[in-house]
A = this chain, B = another copy of it.
Amino acid sequence: MQISSRFTLAVHILACLDKFGGEYKVTSDFLAGSTNVNPVIVRKILGQLKSAGLVEIARGSGGASITRPLGDITFLDIYKAVECIDNEGLFHFHENPNENCPVGQNIHAVLDDKLERVQSAMEKELASITLEDVKNDLSNILNKS
């Protein structure tokens, strides 16, 4: 099971908003062109980013833009915005282990803290990367060529 492409798509979109925001009006059609993804999908993701407060979108006239300094937007912010695992954790438990079995009765309690540690490790790393890093690395590549 993989994390959906909405995440990389969202990063791609945000990178475009930064890169082209000054020069062009960045609409869902514009972004659909760069990502090669359907404009409606782009709008859905933009909507999620907006709900998370990461972008604002001009109704009617069109065009989106980033609301915060790039260094203040982490991959964790983006991940949480587009990946709908609100109350659920990263791991999916089998539903109804047998309460009459000493293992089945306690497996949840035994695993919960361990799975929590794994999820935290992942989120900590996600939180250590910002859009600023993406911008810098992209600039380096573009300047070389």
Enumerate chain A interface residues (CB-CB to B < 8 A).
1-5, 7-9, 11-12, 15-16, 19-20, 33-37, 75, 83, 85, 88-98, 101-104, 106-107, 109-111, 114-115, 117-118, 120-122, 124-126, 129, 133-134, 137-138, 141-142
Contacts and interface: CB of A to CB of B under 8 A. Distances in A.
B118 A134 contact: no
Contacts of A138: 102-103, 106, 110
Contact of A103 (B19, B91, B102): B19
Q: Is the contact region of chain A dominated by helix, strand, or loop, or is it mixed?
A: helix
A105 to B, nearest CB: 9
B33 A92 contact: no
Contacts of A8: 91-94, 107, 111, 115
Given A2-B88, A8-B107, A36-B104, 14 more contacts: A1-B1, A1-B3, A1-B4, A3-B91, A5-B92, A8-B91, A8-B111, A12-B104, A35-B94, A75-B118, A103-B138, A117-B129, A118-B126, A121-B124
Contact of A1 (B2, B9, B33, B97): B2
A60 B27 CA distance: 64
17 contacts: A1-B2, A1-B85, A2-B89, A3-B92, A8-B92, A9-B94, A12-B103, A16-B101, A34-B101, A35-B104, A36-B98, A102-B138, A106-B142, A114-B133, A118-B125, A121-B124, A122-B125
